Each structure stands twice: as C-alpha cells, then as structure tokens.
A and B are shown apart, each in its own frame.
Chain A
Amino acid sequence: MVVDRRQRARQLHGILALVLVAVSITSLAVGASGTSLWRALWSLAMGAGTTTTEAVILWEIRAPRTLLGACVGAALAVSGAVMQGLFRNPLADPGLLGVSAGAGLGALLAIVVGGALPFGMAGVFGDALLPVMAFVGAWASMMVLYAVATRSGRTSVATMLLAGIALGALTGAISGLLIFHADDLQLRELTFWQLGSLAGSSWAKVLIAGPVVLLATLIATTLARGLNGLALGEASAHHIGINVQRTKNIAILAVSAATGAAVAVSGGIGFVGIVVPHLLRLATGPDHHGLLVNSALLGASLLLMADIISRFVVAPAELPIGIVTAVLGAPFFLWILLRRRSVVDL
C-alpha cells in the first residue's frame, strides 16, 4: 500500500498548529524592550492591573502585533496557494503578479483622495474605507490578470508573468502620481505601504483583518476539490463535475479579500505566498484539501518568525518585515525557478 499523502497532510495540521502556538508565545515573549512575558503575566495574575509597563507592552503592543502577524501570514500564504491552483502554476503569487500592488493602490487612493471618491464612499464606509479600497484594488487586479493570462482555460506562464509585471508597473505609476500629490502627513502614512511592516499593529487593525482573513481562509478551504480539478485543465474539471466558473469566481474573491486585508493592515509583504505552498507541496503533495489549511498555519508561523527576526537584526531599531521576507524569499524563488526550469518552459 502506498503512503497516503492526504493522511500526512492531516497529521501536519496538528504539528503546524503546535508550531504556530510556540512561535506565537515566542512573539509575545521577546521584543526590544526586554519585557518578560512571564513577569507581565505574573503581574496581571497578581492583580497588578493592566497599567504596569509590562502589561501595557504585552497587551497593547505585542498581542495585537502577534495576532496581526499571524493573520497577515495566513492570508498571504492562502492567497498564494489559491492563486497557484487557479492559474495552475506554482509561480503565481499576489506579490509577484501585482495583486498586492493593486491592493496598495486602492489603499493609497483611500488615503490621498479618500474624500473625493465617487458615490460618497468615504461617508458610507468610514474607517473601513481603506480596507474596502484595498479589496477593490486587489479584485480589479485579479480580474485583469486572469482575463489577460488565461485563454480558453489554459494559462500561459509567460503571459501571466508579463501581465503581472505590466500590472505592477501601471499601479506603481498611478501610485507615484498619488504620492506626488500627497501632503506631508499623507506621505508619512504612505511610506508605510511601500515597506511593509507590522510595527503599526493595533487592536483596531486586528479587528479589520482578522475576520476577513478567517472568512477568506474558510471559504478557500471549500475550494479544495475545485482547485484539484482545475489541475486537469478547465475542460476536464467541468467533466468531473466541477462548476468551473463558480470555482474561479470564489477563488478570485477569496484571494482579493485576503490580500486586500493583509495589505490594508501591513503594506506590501512579499514571497510568503510563494514559499509556503511550495514547501508544503514538497512535504505532502499538491492536493488542496490539506494544502490550504496547512498554508494558513505555516504562513502564520513563518511571518511571525520573520517578524521576530525583524525586531532583532538592527535592535533597538527594527527592520520593516517586508525586507526580511524579501531577503529570505527572493533566493528561495530563484531556487524554485532553477529546479523547475524545464517545467516552467518560458
């Protein structure tokens, strides 16, 4: 009897969940201030209240940062896995193909010209305007990308990557235009998007990103059979009973929501979406039933680890996490290209 990789994927759920718990505790326990998690918990437990320095650092800084990091990591990894399934290509990724840039442009629009947006959007959405615009930006990018890169159910790798580059350039140019018109206060807010950071974490952001990421991940896990079927091509997916159009629509919406939420709260953090699903496919195969949940768990853990690194590399200052993921992720991406040169066939 052959080793059933589906079973291994299910076992990995438990292992990765434990890893995530361990990394989360580490993330709560370490930081530039040297505050000890145990001392803070102890003083909380002893009824010292939440006003001690330790408790404030733990509750107001590290806790939301840890939760937000986990959410963003899970969102980016799941987005990557779903996009790869949708495009039938292991190189698809929201960061590489301009979807994050689209979300970023949406966020920029909200910051710079928020009040001037049509349909009184600023009034309707209030504080949620920025994440809503990030979602719209991501969704529009996904639609354009899919329309350009896919012809009669087949995705051309070259067209997909080139379309991603063009999309990234276009959104970059419009973003530049917006930055040109921004005032000083807006500029400071804008810098945040370009670097990608968890430094501005707050409970408010957790409340924005958390539910969206959770929902998008849950919806994505219902796509497992559809994405597996798409690996055969759209026609064969239809023949084995999959509603292809609905699968594609839901996948595009889930990716847009997850990427939009992640970008709205943390800016452009790259490579998580490509590294995580790839590692998991090496371990447990490409079946999306286990892959999507495992991507969420491993993505959350990896981003938290990157965040922990970012707090220490140049301590007491901290490095934007986008730089850490790029430094680790870009060589990994090149390694994938090297291994798959014959398969990718550009």
Chain B
Amino acid sequence: MIRAKGITLRYGAKTILDRLDFQARPTALTAIVGPNGSGKTTLLKALTGETPCTGDVTVAGYDIAVTPAWQLASVRAVLPQSTPMSFPFQAIEVVRLGLGQGLSQDARLPYRALARVGLTGYEARFYQELSGGEQQRVQLARVLCQVWEPMVAGQPRWLFLDEPVSSLDIGHQLQVMRIARDYADAGGGVVAVMHDLNLSAMFADQVVLMRSGRIVADGRVDLVLTDENLSDAYDCPVRTRRPPPSSDWYLLPQAAVQPDVA
C-alpha cells in the first residue's frame, strides 16, 4: 500500500498541497488527474520523497522520511516528466543506471527492458540524439529495470509515473499504458499523473481528481470521471460518453461535442 496522511506543502505563502490524504493499493493503476497547477506532480513528488512535506507518507510499509534511498529504491521506481542528461550516454547505458548495486543482477535485463518499450536496436544510440518520446521510453526502460519483478517475496513493488505519455504519439501512448496496466495486473502497484482523461478512463482502476491542492474526488473511474466532477474541476463543461458496443469511455470538452447527439 501507499498511504499518505495529512500531507501539506507550501512554497512561501502559497499552499500547493493542503492536508491531503491519499491511498493507492497494489494490483491497481491509480491515475492522478486535474487541471494545470492543481498539484498533481507535487503530490507525486511528495509521495516519492523528492519534495519534503509535512505529514506521513509510507510506501510498502516504509516511512519515506526516514528510509534510506537504497531501501526505497528496492521497492519503487520513479519516472520524471523529462530527464535531460549532460553526458553522451548510450541508450543501453542509461537503462543500466536502473540496475542496483548487487552482483547477482541479470546483465540481460537492460536489453529486455529496452525491448519491452519497443526500442530494440536502439542500444548504442546516443541519448541526446533521440527524440523526446524516445528519450522518455528509454527512461521508462530504466525505471522498469529497477523494479522489473512486480512482486518480490510476496511484496508488491511500485511504479511512479509523472505524465508518462505526454510526449508520445498515440501508438506509443497505448504501449506505455499497457506496460503500466500489465505491471499492476502482475501484482505491482502503479501511480501515474495523467493529463489524458481518456487514457485514464481506459486504463486506471482508481482515479484521484485534484483541484487547487486538494483531492476533490477519489475512487472508481465511473464514480470520479462524471460530467459534474470534471466540469467543476476543469472549469469547462465536459461530457462523458460510453458508446456501445465497446463500452469504453471517452470524454470530450462540451464545446467540441454536438449537443443532443446521444
């Protein structure tokens, strides 16, 4: 489990997170959504220990405020929005950074991780010469490398993803979301900050809707992503549809939808 209780974070006089309670369970993909500046990324940073905050956060039973970095790294990995690198690392070398210090590490793992994100053949390519989307997938491979097995000794491990699909085309968006979905289905836990509500509706088990540093709705997709909740949170009329026969969700801002078609 991931449990956060009463987390508050202020930059100067501005309150970014306001006494938040948050929970995420393993075997589930939890999507954190909300408008720009609502505190999604900051919440993720608080959960990963990147930004210190008041309140308690535990990940897989570890209090992140006092747990050493190496121990946290063995139970959770974090994908930032973007990762600029200053030296000419090859893709495979970047992925290898996700391996721990243990000698028993599988040397083939970085290659498998690159293959998992569809970048076989990119091993010797220089990171700086890759497109933004390719860089993002190399970093995802690194993150997967770090916590490759979703369960270790019966304990789930965690992926934290900050806008994992923001620089990807739709094909790769689906691929990355599928990887996250599979990780949760195999027993691990995934917490992802998402901009794309449709992908969130399609892949998430739990959705956390934020606005102005608070969680305004939290729960199953169909209970959180309602016209009313979304219109309130995003300050624009939104209508959700669930057309037969697929029954997949899709959401559109109201202005783009012909009225009364349904």
A binding-site residues for B, Cβ under 8 Å? 2-3, 5, 88-90, 225, 228-229, 231-233, 235-236, 238-244, 281, 285-287, 343
Contacts and interface: CB of A to CB of B under 8 A. Distances in A.
Contacts of A240: 73, 77, 97-98, 146
A245 to B, nearest CB: 10
Contacts of B78: 235-236, 239
Given A2-B92, A241-B72, A90 B50 contact: no
Contacts, number: 77
A281 B71 CA distance: 31
Interface in B61-117: 68-74, 76-78, 80, 83-90, 92-93, 97-98, 100-101
Given A225-B101, A239-B48, A240-B146, A287 B73 contact: no
Contacts of A238: 49-50, 69
9 contacts: A2-B123, A231-B86, A232-B85, A236-B80, A239-B50, A240-B97, A243-B70, A281-B87, A287-B89
A3 B124 CA distance: 8
Contacts of B93: 5, 285-287
Given A233-B83, A241-B100, A2 B88 contact: no
B49 to A, nearest CB: 7
Contact of A239 (B71, B73, B86, B90): B73
Nearest to A286: B87
Contacts of A281: 87-88
Contact of A232 (B83, B101, B124): B83
A285 B88 contact: yes
A233 B97 CA distance: 12
A229 B89 contact: no
B124 to A, nearest CB: 5
Interface of B: 45, 48-50, 68-74, 76-78, 80, 83-90, 92-93, 97-98, 100-101, 123-124, 128, 146
List the 6 closest A-B pairs by CB distance, nearest first: A241-B73, A286-B87, A241-B70, A239-B78, A2-B123, A88-B86
A228 B69 contact: no
Given A2-B124, A243-B68, A231 B49 contact: no
Contacts of A235: 45, 50, 78, 80
How would you classify the secondary structure of chain B's contact residues: helix, strand, loop or mixed?
loop
Nearest to A243: B69
B69 A343 contact: no
Contact of A242 (B45, B49, B69, B71): B69
Contacts of A287: 89, 93
A88 B89 CA distance: 12
B57 to A, nearest CB: 14
A191 to B, nearest CB: 38
Contacts of A343: 86, 128
Contacts of B50: 235, 238-239
A33 to B, nearest CB: 45
B52 to A, nearest CB: 12
B69 A244 contact: yes
A225 B69 CA distance: 14
Given A2-B123, A239-B78, A244-B69, A285 B101 contact: no
Query: Which of B45, B89, B98, B101 counts the most A-chain CB atoms under 10 A from its CB?
Result: B89
Name the residue among B50, B68, B69 with the largest chain A CB count within 10 angstroms. B69
Nearest to A239: B78
Contacts of A243: 68-70
A286 B123 CA distance: 15
A3 B72 CA distance: 32
B97 A232 contact: yes
A233 B78 CA distance: 12
Contacts of B86: 88-90, 231, 343
A330 B70 CA distance: 41
Contact of A5 (B48, B90, B100, B128): B90
Nearest to B100: A241
Given A3-B124, A225-B101, A231 B68 contact: no
Nearest to B87: A286
A235 B49 CA distance: 9
Nearest to A245: B69
A231 B89 contact: yes
A333 to B, nearest CB: 17
A242 B70 CA distance: 6
A2 B91 CA distance: 11
Contact of A286 (B71, B73, B74, B89): B89
Contacts of A236: 78, 80, 83
B46 to A, nearest CB: 12
Contacts of B72: 239, 241
Nearest to A343: B128
Given A90-B86, A239-B73, A287-B93, 13 more contacts: A2-B124, A88-B87, A229-B97, A238-B50, A239-B48, A239-B76, A240-B146, A241-B71, A243-B68, A243-B69, A244-B69, A285-B89, A343-B128
